[in-house]
Amino acid sequence: MSAQSPTVISFTELRALLEQVFTRHGTSPEVAAILAHNCASAERDGAHSHGVFRIPGYVSTLGSGWVNGKALPVVEDVASGFVRVDAANGFAQPALAAARPLLIEKARSAGIAVLAIRNSHHFAALWPDVEPFADEGLVALSVVNSMTCVVPHGADRPLFGTNPIAFAAPRADGSPIVFDLATSAIAHGDVQIAARKGECVPPGTGVDSLGQPTQDPRAILEGGALLPFGGHKGSALSMMVELLAAALTGGNFSFEFDWSNHPGAKTPWTGQLLIVIDPGKSAGQSFAERSQELVRQMHAAGLRRLPGDRRHRTRARAELEGIVIDREDLDRLKGLARG
Q: Considering only residues 244-263, where is the footprint of its own copies by CB under 8 A?
A: 244, 246-250, 253, 255
How many helices (H) and strands (E) in the chain? 11, 12
- Cβ–Cβ under 8 Å, residues 122 and 144: yes
Q: Is the dihedral of CA 25, 124, 117, 291 positive or negative?
A: negative
* Main-chain dihedrals φ then ψ at residue 142, nearest 5 degrees: -140, 150
Smallest distance from the beta carbon of 19 to its own copies, in angstroms? Answer: 31
Smallest distance from the beta carbon of 164 to its own copies, in angstroms? Answer: 10
Residues 245, 251: Cα–Cα separation, whole Å: 7
Of 15 and 118, CB closest to its own copies: 118
> So which residues are the catalytic ones?
49-50, 190
Q: Is 275 an interacting residue with respect to its own copies (CB under 8 A)?
A: yes
What DSSP line would sit under 114-169, residue for residue? EEEEEEEE--S-SHHHHHHHHHTT-EEEEEE---S-BPPTT-SS--B----EEEEE
Q: Is 217 an interacting residue with respect to its own copies (CB under 8 A)?
A: no
The correct pick among 43, 45, 86, 131 for binding its own copies (CB under 8 A) is 86
Q: Give residues 301-330 in contact with its own copies (rule: CB under 8 A).
A: 301-305, 307
Nearest Cα neighbor of 90 from 27, 14, 172, 132 is: 27
How would you class 139 by CB atoms within 10 Å of its CB: exposed for 0-12, middle for 13-18, buried for 19 or more?
buried
Of 8 and 78, CB closest to its own copies: 78
Segment contacting its own copies (CB under 8 A): 7-15, 46-54, 273-281, 311-319? 273-281
Q: Give residues 139-178 in contact with its own copies (rule: CB under 8 A).
A: 139, 151-152, 154-159, 165, 167, 169, 177
User: 90-119 mask for its own copies (x: CB under 8 A)?
Assistant: -------------------xxxxxx-x-x-
The correct pick among 80, 135, 196, 335 for binding its own copies (CB under 8 A) is 80
Q: What is the DSSP letter of 243?
A: I
| 136 contacts: CB under 8 Å, gap ≥ 6 | 104
Of 184 and 214, CB closest to its own copies: 184
Q: Is 209 an interacting residue with respect to its own copies (CB under 8 A)?
A: no
**Helix 309-321 vs helix 29-44: angle between axes, to the nearest 10 degrees?**
100
Smallest distance from the beta carbon of 57 to its own copies, in angstroms? Answer: 24
Q: Is 293 an interacting residue with respect to its own copies (CB under 8 A)?
A: yes
Smallest distance from the beta carbon of 208 to its own copies, in angstroms? Answer: 17
